[in-house]
């Protein structure tokens, strides 16, 4: 029974995505916000804009034909990529010989 309820909820969100197809040509459809990062992109969703929640904000993703059979989560990164800079004080054994100025 619980599995069926989850399936209904997912179908509801897919049907709301297909409603965006009624927008006039040349205009962008209104974004649909969702927390369903595990939803698979289906052909009816092409051309729509979806706001995928990454745990902090909603990242807008425009669905293109190359995205079919992928998950929404693949296009909304949920972590900040690491940017390696210079090592700080105490990072290595040799760093204690660097003068502190």
- Provide φ and ψ at 56, rounded to 5°: -135, -50
| Residue 1, pLDDT score | 44
pLDDT at 95 over 60: no
85, 58 in Cβ contact below 8 A? no
Q: Which residue has the tokens 């990164």?
A: 77
Q: Domain boundaries in the chain?
A: 1-75
CATH topology of domain 1-75: 30s Ribosomal Protein S19; Chain A (3.30.860)
Instruction: Report pLDDT digits (tens) over 1-51.
Output: 445 555 555 555 555 666 666 777 788 888 999 999 999 999 988 889 999
Instruction: Report pLDDT digits (tens) over 46-83.
Output: 889 999 999 999 999 999 999 999 999 999 999 999 88
- Provide φ and ψ at 68, rounded to 5°: -60, 145
């Amino acid at each position: 029974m619980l599995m069926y309820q989850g399936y209904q909820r997912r179908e509801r969100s897919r049907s709301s995505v297909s409603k965006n197809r009624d927008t006039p040509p040349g205009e962008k459809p209104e974004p649909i916000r969702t927390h369903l990062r595990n939803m698979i992109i289906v052909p009816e969703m092409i051309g729509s804009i979806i706001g995928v929640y990454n745990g902090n904000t909603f990242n807008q993703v425009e669905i293109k034909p190359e995205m079919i059979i992928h998950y929404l989560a693949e296009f909304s990164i949920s972590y900040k990529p690491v940017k390696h800079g210079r090592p700080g004080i105490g990072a290595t054994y040799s760093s204690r010989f660097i003068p502190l100025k």
